[in-house]
Structure 1
Amino acid sequence: MNKFTVVHLSDIKLTPATRAGESPTPGPLATIWADLTTHDLDPDLIVISGDLFQSGATTDYQWLRTYLHRQSHRLGVPIQVVLGDQDDRTAFNAGYLQRTVPYYAYKQVYQNMDFYFLDSKWRSRRTAGWLGRDQLDWLNKNLHLAPRRRAFLFLHHPLDAPSLRDMRYTLLQNNRELLAILHGHNIGGIYAGHVEFAANYLVDNGLPVTVVSGAANYVDCQDPHQHRVHPATSYNVITIQRGVASVTTRPLAFEPQVVRTIDVGNTGFAKHRPRLSQPYQ
C-alpha cells in the first residue's frame, strides 16, 4: 500500500459576513494553504473537522462551498468537512449541502481504506457531542460491509479519556455506544478537534485517538473552571502506510496574550442526555 497523507485541521471559526454583499474572509485557512505549498506537503486528503463558522448564515456556507471547491482544485486534493457544535445545521444544509439532511455523515474509500466522517453535533446550544442511533446504525452497517478494510474516523468531538476528565461536559457523550460498534473492526484511528489543544491517547484497549489543536485558537484548560483562549494556528499531518498512521503537528502561530476567558461550572457529563433515537435538534 502506498503512503497516504491527510492534512487534518479543525475549529477554523471563520467570521461570517457582517453586511449584505460582503464575503467572509479565509482566516487561518490562507495561512495553512500557504504552508502546504511552501513545504510541498502534497496531501492526498484535507479534512476540516468542524466549527467552520461562528453562527454562520446560509450565505456564509454558500461562500465556503465555493471557496473550498476552488482551493481543492488549486491544491489538487479533495477537501472534506464535518459539522461542529458552533455550526448552524439549518444554514449548513441550505448553503453548503443545498439539501436537508438530519445529520451529515458519509464514507469515502481511498487506496482501499475506508474514511468515515461523522456528525457529532448535538444541539445548537450545547457544546457536547452526540451520535444518534440512526447514524450509529449506518456506521455499523458500513463497517460490516467491508470488515477487512482499514477504517479511519473523523468527527468533531473527542472521546473520553482520563487526561480529559475535567472536559467531560464538552466531549462526545455516548462513547460506549460508539466503541461497542467499533469493537472487533479494523480501526486505524479516530481523529477529532473541538477542545482546541492537542491530545493523543488510547481507548478500548488500544484504539488510538488524536485530537488536533485549533486552527484559529489554542485553549489553555489547565484550570478546569477557567479556560484561557490564545490566538493560534496549528494543524496535523497524518501519514498512513501499510494501514499504520503516524501524526505530526505543525504549529504555525501562537500569541501569548489571552483574548478571552471561558468560565466553566460543572465539568462532568451532561445530566440530561437525549434518547438515542432523538439526537438531532
Structure 2
Amino acid sequence: MKTKELKIVQITDTHLTPRGAKPANHQRVDPYIKLQNIFQDIELMPDRPDMAVISGDLVHEGVTFDYQKLKDIVDYQSERLHIPIYVVLGNHDRTRAFYEGYLEEDPQEKYYYSIATGLCDIYFIDSTYGNIEQGYIDQAQLDWLKQSISDSDKKMSLIFMHHPVDGPAITHMRYSILQNSQELLDLVKGTNVRAIFSGHIHFPTEFNRENILCSTADSSAYHINCDNHHNHLVMDATSYNIITIEDDKVGVETRLLLIHDEIINQVPIEDTDFVDPDIFK
C-alpha cells in the first residue's frame, strides 16, 4: 500500500516593496525577483507540492494597490504551477489594505481560516496585533481554534502563523515573537496538532514543545544573523521550506537559493525579553 503523503511549500517574509518605496533593509536584490526565483525552483521539482503557504509579511507596509499586485502574482503562479497558494498576515502587513486589495472584501479585524486535506486539517492564524512588531493571538481565535481542533476527525492538524512560539533556539527573540506562546501551547497540548509553522525571525530553526514540532522558515527576502543577540546583521538571501507529511510524520527541508555575505543593515536590540503584557489589554 502506498504511503499517504502531503507536500507543502512554505515561503515567508517576502517583504515585497510597495510602489514608490525602496526595498526594506536596503536589499540589493529586488524581493519580487527573489520570490520569482522560488516559484521557478518549484517549477523544476520532479514532484510538485500539493500547496504553498506564504506565512506573513507579504508586503512591507503597502497600500491597496500593492496587495492587488500580490494577488495577481499569486493567482498567476497558482495557475501556472497547478497548486493552491494560501497566505497569512504578518506584522508588516496592513490589514485594511490586504482586505481591500487582495480579498476585495470589506475589512475585518483579523484574517484567519482553516482547510481540510485527506491527511490533516490546517489552521491559518492571524498573530498580528495592530501594527506592532510582537505577535499575540486574541481570545476569539483561541476559542475558534480550540473548538475546531475538538471537532476534527483527522489524525493530525497543522498550524501556520507568522510569529514563532517561544523555544530554546529563540529565547533571545522573546521581545519579538508570539507573546502568549504558552497559552497557545497549553491549548494544543494533547490534541492532534503535530506541528506549528512560522516565519518572522528571518532565520530557520526547529525545536519541540509539548511533543509538537515548532518550525520556523527563513525569509525569501533577507536573512538575519542573530549570533550577537544585541546587534542583528541583515544580509540579502532567499530561502524557503519544503514540508512533507507522511501518515503521522512531519519532515522539513530548507532550500537555500541565495545568500550574500555583505551586511546591508544592522539592528540594535537592547532588551531581548518579553515586552510588557499590558500593551495587549
Fold match (TM-score > 0.5): yes
After superposition, give the CA deviation of every residue in 1:27-66 in whole Å (9 maximum; x if it has no partner).
3211001111123340001000001111111111011112
Q: Is the 8 A contact 1:51 1:85 kept in 2?
A: yes
The answer (yes or no) to whether the contact 1:147–1:186 under 8 Å persists in 2 is no
Q: Secondary structure at the match of 1:34?
A: helix
Alignment pair present for 1:69 and 2:75? yes
Q: In the alignment, which residue of structure 1 is the partner of 2:18?
A: 16
Normalised by the length of structure 2, the TM-score is 0.92
**8 Å Cα contact 1:226-1:264 kept in structure 2:** yes
> What residue is the counterpart of 2:233 in the other structure?
228
- Contact 2:15 2:31 survives alignment (8 Å): no
- 1:191-230 equivalences under 5 Å are 191-204=197-210, 206-230=211-235
What is the CA–CA distance in structure 1 between the aligned matches of 2:203 and 2:256, rounded to whole Å?
Answer: 11
Structure 1 residue aligned with 2:25: none
Structure 1 residues 116 and 138, CA, compared in 2 at 3 Å: closer, same or farther? same
Counterparts of 2:101 and 2:154 in 1: how far apart (Å)?
Answer: 37
Q: Which residue of 2 aligns with 1:123?
A: 130
CA distance in 2, matches of 1:238, 1:75: 17
1:150, distance to aligned residue in structure 2 (A)? 0.8
Tell me if 1:240 matches 2:245: yes
For residues 252 and 180 of structure 2, the distance between their equivalents in structure 1, rounded to whole angstroms, comes to 26
Query: 1:1-29, CA deviations, whole angstroms, 9 ceiling, x for partnerless residues?
Result: 5211000010011111119xxxx973321
- Could you tell me which runs of 5 or more consecutive residues in structure 1 were left unpaired when the two chains were aligned: none
1:132 matched residue in structure 2: 138
Residues of 2 paired with 1:192 and 1:238: CA distance? 12
Matched, 1:178 2:184: yes
Structure 2 distance, partners of 1:225, 1:111, is 45
> In terms of mean alpha carbon deviation, does 25-34 or 68-77 score higher?
25-34
CA 25–177 in structure 1, closer or farther in 2 if over 3 Å, else same: closer
Q: Distance in 1 between matches of 2:155 and 2:103?
A: 28
1:20-39 matches, within 5 Å, as 26-39=32-45
Contact map agreement 2:96 2:108 (CA 8 A) in 1? no
Which aligned segments of 4 or more residues in structure 1 are displaced greater than 4 angstroms? none
Q: Could you tell me which residue of structure 1 aligns to residue 51 of structure 2?
A: 45
Equivalent pairs, count: 270
CA positional deviation for 1:225: 1.0
Q: Is the 8 A contact 1:237 1:247 kept in 2?
A: yes
Tell which deviates more after alignment, 92-101 or 128-137: 92-101
CA-atom RMSD in angstroms? 1.6
Percent identical across equivalent pairs?
34
CA distance in 2, matches of 1:184, 1:217: 36
* Distance change >3 Å, CA 184–CA 87, structure 1 → 2: same
Distance in 2, matches of 1:194 and 1:31, equals 20
- Tell me the CA shift for residue 148 of structure 1: 4.3
TM-score normalised by structure 1 residue count: 0.92
The answer (yes or no) to whether the contact 1:129–1:173 under 8 Å persists in 2 is yes
Partner residue, 1:105 = 112
Question: Matches of 2:267 and 2:32 in 1, distance apart?
Answer: 25
| SS class of match (1:14) | coil
Which residue of structure 1 aligns with residue 272 of structure 2?
267
Which of residues 6, 9, 12 is equivalent to 1:7?
Answer: 9
